[in-house]
Amino acid sequence: MVMADILEIIQQRRSMRVPFSPNRPMSKENLRKILEAARWAPTAHNMQNFEVLVVDDKGILEKIGNIKSRVSEAFIRENYQQLSFSEEELLQKKVGILGTNFPPDWRDPAKLDKAVRECSPSPLNQRIGGSPVLLIVIYDSRKRAPASEGDVLGFISLGCVMQNMWLMAQSLGISVHILSVFSGETVEKEVKRILKVPEYMKIAFAIRLGYPVSKQARHLRVRRDIEMFTHHNGYGKKGLR
Ligand SMILES: Cc1cc2nc3c(=O)[nH]c(=O)nc-3n(C[C@H](O)[C@H](O)[C@H](O)COP(=O)(O)O)c2cc1C
């Protein structure tokens, strides 16, 4: 493997928010490779502060899919701040996401209160239905990386685990969808009950793995230019000179 291959995999990695085929199970060999990638993730103090719950039992997946949760007020309001309202705007901003991915009321500041009021609980199945396997990454909330306030270093480590698994999956042609909703209070409590996870273990995030039933509609992906986030030899000296 050469550098160009790595950059290609990094650039091709993307969030797949379409349904995955229930009839294409994940091979144990591929799952092992993804777990091997997690295994070698860098973590603060090499604490390896993660455990991975692999869920591919149809009955358990169904139970998890039946959990209902509602989108929080904080999410609806703060999500709004990240939206662009046209491809042109997103292309110019280069950060955030396109508003058309969300319900109309979520995109109109005058209707955000209404959106919050009317947001009713929906089953997780709407997002994970059909996915042949979920990986749920958990960590021990009683520990932290040495002297790390709020265990920031521990959370960065969990991010490294996420990225390692995501890039491995990408290289194997397996689609990935991150599900932060699993770390929300309601879902976390129910998932922990179903999977008999000890109280002190917290869910960091879940990953839905699979093969899409249909192509994901083309959507604009933007990133800032290197010059926009690089400061060379002093803050404000933008770019790599
Ligand atoms: C920590 C973290 C949490 C995320 N949570 C979610 C999520 O809950 N749902 C989702 O659809 N995407 C989630 N994403 C994916 C991001 O929205 C996505 O990576 C970003 O918009 C860039 O798009 P791309 O992955 O297609 O490049 C998450 C990503 C990260 C790193």
pLDDT of the residue at 1:
61
- Average model confidence (pLDDT) across the chain: 96
Atom of ligand 1 nearest to the CA of 17: 11
Q: Decide the pairing of beta strands 133-140 and 175-179.
A: unpaired
Average pLDDT over residues 8-34: 96
Cα(17) to centroid(ligand 1), Å: 10
- 4 pLDDT exceeds 90? no
pLDDT of the residue at 129:
87
Nearest protein Cα to ligand 1, atom 12: 178
Atom of ligand 1 nearest to the CA of 162: 31
- 24 pLDDT exceeds 90? yes
Residues at CB less than 6 angstroms from ligand 1: 14-15, 17, 97, 177-181, 221
Task: Choose one of 180, 188, 205, 218 to mutate for the ligand 1 pocket test, by most ligand atoms within 8 angstroms of C-beta.
Answer: 180
pLDDT of the residue at 61:
97
Cα(15) to centroid(ligand 1), Å: 6
Q: The pTM is what?
A: 0.96
Nearest protein Cα to ligand 1, atom 19: 15
Average pLDDT over residues 102-115: 94
Nearest protein Cα to ligand 1, atom 5: 180
Percent of the chain with pLDDT over 70: 98
Nearest protein Cα to ligand 1, atom 18: 15
Average pLDDT over residues 75-85: 96
- 203 pLDDT exceeds 90? yes
Atom of ligand 1 nearest to the CA of 180: 8
pLDDT of the residue at 218:
87
Cα(177) to centroid(ligand 1), Å: 8
- 3 pLDDT exceeds 80? no
Average pLDDT over residues 121-137: 95
Nearest protein Cα to ligand 1, atom 3: 180
Cα(241) to centroid(ligand 1), Å: 31
